[in-house]
Structure 1
Amino acid sequence: MFLKKIKQALKIDKPNETIPEKPQTISLWEDTGKVFYIENTLKLTYESNSGSITLEKLSMQALPDLINNISLLPENSPLAIKNTANQKSAFNISLCGVTWQKNANATRIKAIPDAALLRSQTACFSKSQAIFRHATLLEHDDLLTSSLIQPKAGQFIYNRITVEQFTQQIKIANKRISEDLRKKVLINQDNFDSPFTEHESEEIERLIDINLQKKIT
């Protein structure tokens, strides 16, 4: 709704005109491939008999038991996972992370929404699939079995991953990050609640107000 409001407010009728192509820009920031996963952004999403359910800020230790308890709910329970034509909806587990990028002697932190994902239609996760974004160092980890078909660089897919293996991999990856880099991470759950920063949101609201005033006058 917020993006729709922006589009409607900024819509201005103009005659057809040719928009010159902008020269392609190349980022000077180089991805280090290092990822730190924000554990308190862990969430579980699934489609229940009552609709979509999202459980946020979950504990990694409690996650396996939570999924097992949901799978044991009676089929007619409002919170039970939805079953359509003998096809159960999938459990979707995700958490956000950050990566570091370098440009000469400068370093910046970049947030990665859904940095790690795990999806399965069964509570045992025997046919699951995990995706780690920008985690180049995870490719050779013995804990996971890499998929033969990999997506774009910096993103890796692994099949048949249990919840315990998934959470263990997160902890292993986080331990690889030096203490100095960890101290620089000031990002938490609240940073992923909006696609815009506070300053960007203020500027967007200001532009919307200006355009609304123009339409009124």
Structure 2
Amino acid sequence: MRKIIRHFRQKRRAAETVIQSYQTPPPSPSHSHRAQQKNTQQQWQPMGHIYYLLDTLKLCYQSKAGLVTYERISPASLMALCEELLDGKLTQPQEMHQLSSLFTLSVCGVSWEELGHQTRVKAIPEAAAMRFSSMESRQTEARFQLANRRSDDAITSITELGALTNSLQIVHNLSVEQFIAMLEKANNGVPATLSKAIPIKADNFAQALTQSDKKALAQTIKTIESRYLYT
């Protein structure tokens, strides 16, 4: 199934559409210009901005009772939540090899790409993540996905990627408050023309695939199955 999904993502990337356009398209080009555009239609360039959707904050960890996930956490209630989880008999992080399971705090986001007079916004299921043992701990690792990492390639969690990659910024020894502050500072640096026109909300990340993606995936699976049946 992973191979089928990977094949589907490659097909979707090849036929990717513009989600949002912020400028009026230019007049109809000439035939030679259209041919040139066709050759460069896949060369979307990142605009260098990521906007973090702070209403998508998610906390995950392995407790003594099992895997725990809290979604859409308010930053203001994060400290009280972690303290309560650490105090609970069954909600305490599971210990393995005398080490407690780490909390992982992640957030979704969006980035922008441009091609000529067109701009599109891309959803990022995991734009930044931080691992920590408690709210007071400074032995932490925060990872920020860079805008040049294609969201279609973001199948692997950024917490599982190796450190030797040019698609991540890794920062050590941050407090949770500093991590949140960095997200807010990055959001303030995004031009208002982009941040005020974001068509993607927290609900868009409720499922891994959109309805159109599911239909396209079903069609891809059907095509692959028919090839195997008649070969």
Same fold (TM over 0.5): yes
Q: CA deviation at 1:159?
A: 0.3
Unaligned runs of 5+ in 1: 8-24, 137-148
Q: Tell whether the 8 Å contact from 2:46 to 2:147 is kept in structure 1 after alignment.
A: no
String of CA shifts for 1:61-96, please: whole Å, max 9, x gaps.
1112211222233xxx22221123421000000001
Tell me, yes or no, if structure 1 residue 121 matches structure 2 residue 123.
no
Tell me, yes or no, if structure 1 residue 58 matches structure 2 residue 73.
yes
Give the 3 Å change call, closer, same or farther, for CA 26–122 of structure 1 in structure 2.
Answer: farther
Task: Percent identity, please.
Answer: 29
Q: CA deviation at 1:33?
A: 1.5
**Residues 197-216 of structure 1: pairs in structure 2 closer than 5 A:** 197-206=210-219, 211=225
Give the SS at the match of 1:177: coil
Q: CA deviation at 1:209?
A: 6.3
Give the 3 Å change call, closer, same or farther, for CA 62–122 of structure 1 in structure 2.
Answer: closer
Q: CA deviation at 1:157?
A: 0.5
Which consecutive aligned stretches of 4+ in structure 1 deviate over 4 angstroms post-superposition?
4-7, 206-212
Letter in 2 for 1:105: H
Tell me, yes or no, if structure 1 residue 177 matches structure 2 residue 206.
no
Give the 3 Å change call, closer, same or farther, for CA 197–163 of structure 1 in structure 2.
Answer: same
**Residues 106-185 of structure 1: pairs in structure 2 closer than 5 A:** 106-134=118-146, 151-185=164-198
Give the 3 Å change call, closer, same or farther, for CA 208–28 of structure 1 in structure 2.
Answer: closer
- Work out which of the residue numbers 47, 72, 86 in structure 2 matches 1:71: 86
**Residues 2-81 of structure 1: pairs in structure 2 closer than 5 A:** 3=1, 27-73=42-88, 77-81=89-93
Give the SS at the match of 1:38: strand
Unaligned runs of 5+ in 2: 6-39, 149-161
- Count, aligned residues: 180
Residue aligning to 2:37? none
String of CA shifts for 1:168-198, please: whole Å, max 9, x gaps.
1111111111222112211122322333331
Give the 3 Å change call, closer, same or farther, for CA 110–151 of structure 1 in structure 2.
Answer: farther
- Between the aligned partners of 2:41 and 2:118, the Cα distance in structure 1 is 17
